[in-house]
Amino acid sequence: QKEVEQNSGPLSVPEGAIASLNCTYSDRVSQSFFWYRQYSGKSPELIMSIYSNGDKEDGRFTAQLNKASQYVSLLIRDSQPSDSATYLCAVNDGGYSTLTFGKGTMLLVSP
Amino acid sequence: GAGVSQSPRYKVAKRGQDVALRCDPISGHVSLFWYQQALGQGPEFLTYFQNEAQLDKSGLPSDRFFAERPEGSVSTLKIQRTQQEDSAVYLCASSREGSNQPQHFGDGTRLSIL
């Protein structure tokens, strides 16, 4: 059974700090990895996708993937109160297959 | 609109009633997914369509759940004889054709069974 593990949090950081969110997955054949942001009562919003080992940067966000360790992370630089949300890690094993989600990590950025 | 559209946004039904939830995917998106999200949990897969073909329904929790996409665009998720444990947010997502395509979600339908 595919599993995606995330610390539920909350992760509390002060405004302007770097927030580091982590995710591990169990299925070694997983090929694509996504981070979604979900505000309370809202739908998941795609913020990053990563497919190969290493880092991928997009604005204040950096996704890091290590397939050997089955680990993917999301760094948010210069955190803002508006970044306060639940961050969902999702894993896909390629093809048309569904996404397997973690339970999400709640991030709280204090002014 | 440009995004995935779901209706209704909220649905309240009495236990035992049938409900139908609608999803209108992003234009041109071949793949359509339904997920169920319980409070405090991540979304869990229910079923997947590629065009009008339902290729995977392994996540449907019981035979009371039925989904269709007859013309390869709009999809309907139907739940018969609803139970209290069916209360959740039902999310629809769509993506372009091809492997590893990111999925884009609608705002969901919050279903409450009394």
Question: A35 to chain B: nearest residue by CA?
Answer: B102
Of A1-15, A19-33, B17-31, highest mean pLDDT: B17-31
Q: How confident is the model at residue A94 (pLDDT cuts 50, 70, 90)?
A: low
> B-chain residues within 8 Å CB-CB of A104?
41-42
Q: Do B45 and A31 touch (CB under 8 A)?
A: no
The tokens for B57 are 């329904």
* Nearest-CA distance B41 → chain A (Å): 5
Q: Average pLDDT, stretch B103-107?
A: 93
Q: How confident is the model at residue A96 (pLDDT cuts 50, 70, 90)?
A: low
* Nearest-CA distance A51 → chain B (Å): 8
- pLDDT reported for residue B99: 72
> B-chain residues within 8 Å CB-CB of A97?
56
> B-chain residues within 8 Å CB-CB of A96?
31, 48, 50, 55-56, 99
- pLDDT reported for residue A93: 74
Give the residue, A26 or A29, on which the prediction is more confident: A26
Cβ-contact B19, B78 below 8 angstroms: yes
Question: Would you call B85 helix, strand, or coil by DSSP?
Answer: helix
A1 vs B58: CA distance, rounded Å: 13
DSSP for A66-86, please give it.
ETTTTEEEEEESS--GGG-EE
A73 vs A75: CA distance, rounded Å: 7
Instruction: State what percent of residues in chain B have pLDDT above 90.
Output: 90
Instruction: State what percent of residues in chain B have pLDDT above 70.
Output: 99
pLDDT digits (tens, 9 = 90+) for B33-52: 999 999 989 999 999 999 99
Which of these, B45, B52, B4, B27, lies nearest to A97 by C-alpha position?
B45
Q: What is the mean pLDDT of chain B?
A: 94
- pLDDT reported for residue A95: 61
Q: Do A94 and B99 touch (CB under 8 A)?
A: yes
Q: Does the CB of A70 have a partner CB in chain B at under 8 Å? A: no
pLDDT digits (tens, 9 = 90+) for A36-73: 999 998 999 999 999 999 999 999 999 999 999 999 99
A33 vs A94: CA distance, rounded Å: 10
